[in-house]
């Protein structure tokens, strides 16, 4: 039988049937390399005619004890994990360089170790002395965490097998290498093989493994996407360098809700939890000004109030600028088109700048109405009342669609002292004392009621 070869691009991970000088997927040159098999055995050989052993089968009605969870004591981290760390789970944590991934995981390792979970922290980027220096700065020098500085995955797995910890943190997966894969550390083949070995080891030995992953310029975890499919949980650590806020977001979680967030604040002594993120995001909001509105959003299961700021100014260029921070630029273009087509309010010849205060990134369409209000407020130079919150989705026809969890949004606004809310008609609102609710049916009615035009 002829040997079957497979090749992949080290830049984008695209698979190829044969070698070529240029990758057809990403256009890079000299990046296609032969893949080494992950599993043991001769490369390119099939399983053959030898029969395997029978696998034990159970039915759905069989009652099993749910996997135990270990809580760290960091409420924001436990919330994102779905209530704690599940035994024999594999986690992948990504984030921009210098955002605080290693600081967060070192603090989490110390908390888990102090609660009685045997923890090993393996660094492939720093020496053990450097990790201890950071631990002293964070006040964690007395935490019973075992340290190691190693990049050879064979040595790391041997150590974990003999020590039998409850939690192992690998910082980072791009620095690990296997001597069975003929490629440089950080390549697609090495990252895929290392993630596979660590995930398999975690399932077989009942050890929770946390892997740190670098991110690309587009903000995605570097390496093949198959790594994110291998693990149980994928977390992103987000934040702007100019802000002290950090957001830990779950984008995949087999043991809890996805899109859950935890909010931290970067201080001189490390990361501290933010119990009430809405109050923190609105703490720097001053007197009402044109272009500033408060959006009542939902992140995972938690209602979060955040300020949306807009600036509209005459453009000196033939092509007006559209700049967005913290929101989708394509959705901003859609809102501008709907305002012009359905409400007759043009933005031609005007530069538009939109910003979500505090460094938070919003993805839910319920922010449409708040964005439209901020744009109109900036264009008309008319400030909205400071005690009003807005939320709702805008359709291309100019209609307003209700947002999910309307009652939770209103209760969060009332708790923070807001007295008025503007939301689309429909949706369960419940009874929220002390809150006046305005419910326009479409965008034209909202513009007429709020700005006296439309």
Per-residue pLDDT at 46 exceeds 70: no
Per-residue pLDDT at 67 exceeds 70: no
Identify the architecture of domain 69-275 in CATH.
3-Layer(aba) Sandwich (3.40)
Cα angle 429, 374, 290; round to 5? 120
- For the chain, what percent of residues have pLDDT higher than 70? 92
pLDDT band at 44 (very low <50, low <70, confident <90, very high): very low
Entry pTM: 0.79
Helices (H), 81-117: 101-114
- State how far the Cα of 98 lies from the Cα of 277, in Å rounded to an integer: 22
pLDDT band at 36 (very low <50, low <70, confident <90, very high): low
Q: Give the tokens for residue 328.
A: 């989708």
Task: Determine the pLDDT at residue 378.
Answer: 95
Tokens 């150590």 belong to residue: 159
- State how far the Cα of 250 lies from the Cα of 196, in Å rounded to an integer: 21
Task: Determine the pLDDT at residue 28.
Answer: 85
pLDDT band at 68 (very low <50, low <70, confident <90, very high): confident
Domains 69-275 and 280-451 share a fold: no
Residue 124 marked as a ligand binder: no
- State how far the Cα of 33 lies from the Cα of 322, in Å rounded to an integer: 41
Task: Determine the pLDDT at residue 38.
Answer: 45
Contact, 297 vs 366, CB < 8 A? yes
Per-residue pLDDT at 396 exceeds 70: yes
Contact, 379 vs 270, CB < 8 A? no
> Burial level of 47, CB count in 10 A (0-12/13-18/19+)?
exposed
Task: Determine the pLDDT at residue 268.
Answer: 85
- State how far the Cα of 391 lies from the Cα of 366, in Å rounded to an integer: 6
Dump pLDDT digits (tens) for 223-266.
Answer: 777 889 999 999 999 887 677 889 999 999 999 888 899 999 98
- State how far the Cα of 390 lies from the Cα of 323, in Å rounded to an integer: 22
Dump pLDDT digits (tens) for 339-366.
Answer: 999 999 999 999 999 999 888 889 899 9
Dump pLDDT digits (tens) for 276-304.
Answer: 888 878 877 777 789 999 999 998 888 99
Task: Determine the pLDDT at residue 315.
Answer: 92
Which whole number is the average pLDDT over 125-130? 93
211's CB contacts (< 8 A; 6+ apart) are 90, 91, 92, 93, 170, 172, 173, 195, 198, 231
CA distances for 165 relative to 87, 116, 120, 121, 171, angstroms: 11, 11, 7, 10, 16
- State how far the Cα of 34 lies from the Cα of 10, in Å rounded to an integer: 10
The average confidence (pLDDT) of the chain is: 88
- State how far the Cα of 420 lies from the Cα of 436, in Å rounded to an integer: 5
Which of 45-49, 66-70, 392-396, 407-411 is the least confident region?
Answer: 45-49
410's CB contacts (< 8 A; 6+ apart) are 296, 421, 423, 429, 430, 432, 435, 437
Residue 385 marked as a ligand binder: no
3-state SS class at 160: helix
Per-residue pLDDT at 85 exceeds 60: yes
Residue 99 marked as a ligand binder: yes
Task: Determine the pLDDT at residue 310.
Answer: 96
Antiparallel, parallel or unpaired: β 15-16 and 7-9: antiparallel
Which whole number is the average pLDDT over 85-108? 92
Residue 298 marked as a ligand binder: no
Task: Determine the pLDDT at residue 379.
Answer: 94
Residue 95 marked as a ligand binder: yes
Position with higher pLDDT, 42 vs 375: 375
CA distances for 66 relative to 62, 87, 167, 209, angstroms: 12, 10, 18, 19
Which whole number is the average pLDDT over 102-107? 94
Contact, 363 vs 395, CB < 8 A? no
For residue 172, whether the previous peptide bond is cis, meaning omega lies within 30 degrees of 0, is yes
Contact, 421 vs 413, CB < 8 A? yes
387's CB contacts (< 8 A; 6+ apart) are 417, 418, 419, 420
CATH class of 280-451: alpha beta
Position with higher pLDDT, 134 vs 241: 134
Domain boundary assignment for the chain = 1-35, 69-275, 280-451
Task: Determine the pLDDT at residue 391.
Answer: 95
């Amino acid at each position: 039988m002829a040997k079957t070869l497979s090749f992949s691009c080290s830049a984008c991970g695209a698979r190829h049937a044969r070698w070529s000088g240029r990758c057809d997927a990403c256009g890079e040159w000299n990046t296609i390399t032969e893949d080494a098999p992950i599993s043991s055995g001769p490369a390119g050989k099939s399983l053959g005619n030898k029969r395997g052993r029978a696998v034990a089968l159970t039915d759905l009605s069989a009652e099993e004890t749910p996997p135990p969870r270990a809580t760290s004591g960091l409420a924001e981290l436990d919330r994102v994990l779905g209530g704690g760390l599940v035994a024999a789970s594999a986690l992948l944590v990504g984030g921009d360089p210098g955002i605080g991934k290693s600081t967060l995981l070192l603090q989490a390792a110390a908390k888990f170790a102090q609660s009685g979970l045997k923890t090993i922290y393996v660094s492939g980027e720093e020496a053990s002395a450097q990790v201890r220096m950071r631990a002293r700065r964070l006040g964690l020098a007395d935490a019973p965490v075992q340290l190691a500085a190693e990049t050879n995955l064979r040595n790391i797995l041997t150590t974990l097998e003999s020590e039998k910890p409850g939690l192992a943190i690998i910082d980072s997966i791009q620095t690990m290498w296997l001597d069975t894969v003929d490629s440089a550390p950080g390549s697609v083949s090495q990252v895929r093989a290392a993630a596979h070995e660590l995930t398999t080891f975690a399932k077989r030995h009942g050890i929770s493994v946390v892997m740190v992953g670098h991110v690309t310029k587009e903000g995605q975890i570097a390496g093949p996407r198959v790594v994110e499919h291998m693990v149980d949980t994928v977390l992103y650590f987000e934040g702007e360098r100019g802000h002290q806020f950090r957001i830990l977001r779950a984008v995949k979680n087999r043991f809890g809700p996805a899109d859950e967030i935890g909010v931290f604040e970067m201080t001189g002594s490390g990361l501290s939890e933010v119990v009430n993120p809405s109050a923190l995001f609105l703490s720097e909001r001053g007197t009402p000004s044109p272009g500033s509105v408060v959006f009542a959003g939902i992140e995972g299961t938690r209602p979060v109030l955040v300020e949306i700021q807009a600036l509209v100014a005459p453009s000196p260029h033939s092509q007006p600028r559209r700049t967005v921070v913290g929101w989708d630029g394509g959705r901003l273009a859609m809102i501008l088109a709907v305002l012009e087509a359905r409400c007759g309010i043009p933005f031609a010849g005007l530069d538009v700048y939109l910003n979500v205060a505090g460094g938070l990134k919003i993805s839910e369409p319920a922010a449409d109405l708040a964005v439209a209000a901020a744009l109109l407020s900036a264009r008309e130079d008319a400030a909205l009342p400071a005690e009003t919150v807005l939320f709702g989705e805008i359709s291309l026809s100019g209609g307003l669609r209700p947002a999910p969890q309307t009652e939770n949004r209103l209760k969060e606004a009332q708790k923070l002292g807001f007295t008025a809310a503007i939301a689309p008609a429909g949706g369960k609102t419940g009874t929220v004392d002390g809150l006046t609710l305005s419910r326009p049916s479409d965008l034209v009615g909202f513009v007429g009621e709020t700005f006296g035009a439309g």
